[in-house]
């Protein structure tokens, strides 16, 4: 991912320059000059202290030195992001309500057929990084490598189980893709939280778990958890000794993106303002510290490029979830 990250960063720098010029000169500024003239509401679809909440508060704090008005965070938890999405859709498409997102923007509508919104109801503004998904096991298990885990699954089909953060999620998708790619049959057990996943794994109730590295980092450092593989295109700078599943011959690449969207229909001038100011905000030290401390890999996409990534995930993962009965 490093090579692509370098090219993307160069592209972002070009966007920053052009967007700032747009905002500072020409007719675009005249059309957008009244925005914003009041505080902007940023919706976190998690409880206070949750991953999405921390993300939104870090962005709001960084934006305080960049945006012309304050950004404040409200929490609308529930339904894997469904409550937050519905709330934003209930608000005017004027740029005064923004939503912090992960790829639940894709997975939640796909796994909830009765939910009336999906990514097409939103306008992507910026993606600033992704959470690396990993395969983790307890150090007390005999699994030293990802090959060991796969070999055990081949020997006892269905008996080697992963703990997952719910069904129809990226955790679930990763376990399904790995099963298919490696030609094995992993079982899985859904949990309601990362803490429950971890407790079940450490207690020997499941063989391993699919999660974000940040969720198990402290246990890795304590010597209780081992990371066997990552679901990224290239090895991570933070885990240079951990192989990707791709390099083992299994095409398991599922990036959990993090970023910002607004309701579809926001005026172009407002979207341009949000893109330009957001690009400046993520360069602030407080936000860079958030990315580093949260083990989020910086990866920057704006506007149409971000939308294309979301649409690609919609097609790719939609087909898998359909096959699973969602």
Considering the domain architecture, whether residues 207 and 272 belong to the same structural domain is answered as: no
> With contact defined as beta carbons under 8 Å apart, do 115 and 109 qualify?
yes
SS3 266: coil
Q: Within a domain: residue 251? A: no
Q: Please state the pTM of the whole predicted model.
A: 0.80
Report how many domains make up the chain: 2
What's the pLDDT at 78?
A: 85
> With contact defined as beta carbons under 8 Å apart, do 13 and 19 qualify?
no
Domain boundary at 178, 212, 230, which? 230
> With contact defined as beta carbons under 8 Å apart, do 188 and 141 qualify?
no
Q: Within a domain: residue 237? A: no
Considering the domain architecture, whether residues 107 and 151 belong to the same structural domain is answered as: no
- CATH number of the domain that 141 lies in? 3.40.190.10
Instruction: For residue 306, give its domain range.
Output: 2-130+256-323
Q: Within a domain: residue 239? A: no
- What's the rounded mean pLDDT across residues 167-183? 91
Considering the domain architecture, whether residues 77 and 218 belong to the same structural domain is answered as: no
Cα separation values, 182 from 147, 151, 201, 316, Å: 9, 9, 22, 18
CA–CA distance, 101 with 295 (Å, rounded to integer): 17
Q: Within a domain: residue 262? A: yes
Q: Within a domain: residue 141? A: yes
CA–CA distance, 219 with 217 (Å, rounded to integer): 5
Task: Between 96 and 22, name the one with better pLDDT.
Answer: 96
What's the pLDDT at 177?
A: 93
Considering the domain architecture, whether residues 117 and 264 belong to the same structural domain is answered as: yes
What's the pLDDT at 13?
A: 55
Q: Within a domain: residue 246? A: no
Q: Within a domain: residue 309? A: yes
- CATH number of the domain that 112 lies in? 3.40.190.150
pLDDT tens profile 178-218: 999 999 999 999 887 778 889 999 999 999 999 988 888 88
What's the pLDDT at 97?
A: 98
């Amino acid at each position: 991912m490093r090579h692509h990250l370098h090219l993307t960063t160069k592209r972002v720098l070009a966007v920053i320059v052009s967007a700032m010029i747009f905002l500072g000169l020409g007719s675009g500024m005249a059309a957008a000059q009244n925005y914003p003239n009041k505080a902007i509401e940023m919706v976190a679809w998690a409880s206070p202290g949750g991953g999405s909440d921390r993300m939104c508060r870090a962005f709001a704090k960084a934006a305080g030195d960049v945006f012309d008005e304050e950004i404040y965070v409200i929490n609308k938890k529930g339904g894997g992001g469904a409550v937050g999405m519905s709330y934003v859709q209930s608000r005017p498409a004027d740029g005064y309500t923004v939503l912090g997102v992960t790829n639940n923007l894709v997975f939640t509508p796909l796994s909830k057929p009765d939910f009336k919104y999906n990514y097409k109801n939103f306008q992507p503004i910026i993606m600033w990084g992704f959470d690396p998904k990993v395969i983790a096991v307890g150090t007390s298990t005999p699994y030293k490598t990802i090959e060991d885990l796969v070999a055990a699954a081949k020997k006892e089909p269905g008996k080697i189980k992963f703990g997952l953060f719910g069904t129809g999620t990226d955790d679930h998708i990763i376990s399904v893709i790995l099963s298919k790619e490696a030609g094995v049959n992993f079982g899985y057990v859904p949990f309601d939280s990362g803490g429950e996943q971890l407790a079940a794994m450490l207690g020997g109730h499941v063989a391993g778990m699919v999660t974000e590295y940040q969720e198990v980092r402290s246990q890795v450092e304590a010597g209780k958890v081992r990371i066997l593989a990552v679901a990224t295109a290239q090895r991570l700078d933070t885990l240079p000794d951990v192989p990707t599943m791709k390099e083992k011959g299994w095409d398991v690449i599922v990036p959990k993106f993090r970023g910002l969207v607004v309701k579809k229909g926001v005026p172009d001038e407002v979207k341009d303002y949000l893109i330009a100011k957001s690009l400046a905000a993520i360069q602030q030290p407080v936000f860079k510290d958030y990315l580093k401390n949260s083990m989020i890999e910086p990866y920057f996409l704006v506007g149409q490029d971000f939308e294309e990534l979301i649409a690609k995930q919609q097609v790719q993962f939609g087909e898998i979830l359909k096959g699973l009965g969602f």
